[in-house]
Amino acid sequence: MLRIEELTKAFNDNYALQQLSLNIEPGEIYCLLGSNGAGKSTTLNLLLGFLKADSGHIYIDEQLVDVNQKHSLATARDKIAYIPEQVNLYPQFNAMENLAYLANLGGIKPAYEQFEQALTQTGLAKNMWHKPLKDYSKGMRQKVGIAFAILRQAKLLLLDEPTSGLDPSATQEFIHIIDNLAQQGAAVLMVTHDLECSTTLGDKFAILKEGEVIEQFSQKDLASVPLHQRYQQAIYPQPINLSA
């Protein structure tokens, strides 16, 4: 569903991303890990067409994405749902109104029952559906964003730090929702610092450091070396001398 081949992006003489390659099949969850400035946000901006790569290729559903061609970019975006770290919907609208407005902007016309089904699938309490989003927590706003992805039948979900600021209960709800969407065939790219959530959800992993992938592995590899240990060794290969 998503194939990236040697994607590179530099700003002046500084490389934000160097020859990133990865592949995500339908139903797979890929966790892109790294500290701030590692190149994770640049990757998302390239996939969304907000930035143009210096070299490399992006294929979505086996179609080459050309940001210079409006049709190519629009076709790719039709298959993508992007859930940012802060889901900025319309605070004065309720969940139903937000979904209806976004659907109209996206040129889709779901039946009322489809709005209900999408919100139900996210687990958003029914008594909140008609309350304004200004009264929602981050996790509840996130559920509305995911409900729109469900309505659009997005084939690829791009998630940016989705568990940042969520309490443990909301994080578990998020894990359940994304796992269900993957089981239904969605491909998921999750950019995150949350190693516990990644361990639970991830099928494939990559660790970025200063724009380069320094390690790639799969869920089965975690049986021998846990994710926390792999991440620590990759990002901080030398022991930290606390007495210095």
Beta strands in the chain (DSSP E): 2-11, 14-24, 29-33, 55-60, 63-64, 80-83, 156-160, 187-192, 204-209, 212-218
- The reported pTM is 0.92
Predicted local distance difference test score (pLDDT) of residue 17: 97
Return the CATH number of the domain spanning residue range 1-61+155-214.
3.40.50.300
Range(s) within the chain of domains with CATH label 3.40.50.300: 1-61+155-214
Sign of the alpha-carbon torsion through 139, 144, 148, 150:
positive
* pLDDT given for residue 75 in this prediction: 87
pLDDT digits (tens, 9 = 90+) for 88-137: 899 999 999 999 999 998 888 999 999 999 999 999 999 999 999 999 99
* Mean confidence (pLDDT) of the chain: 93
Residue 150 has pLDDT above 60, yes or no: yes
60 backbone dihedrals φ, ψ, rounded to 5°: -120, 120
Query: Strand pairing of 2-11 and 14-24?
Result: antiparallel
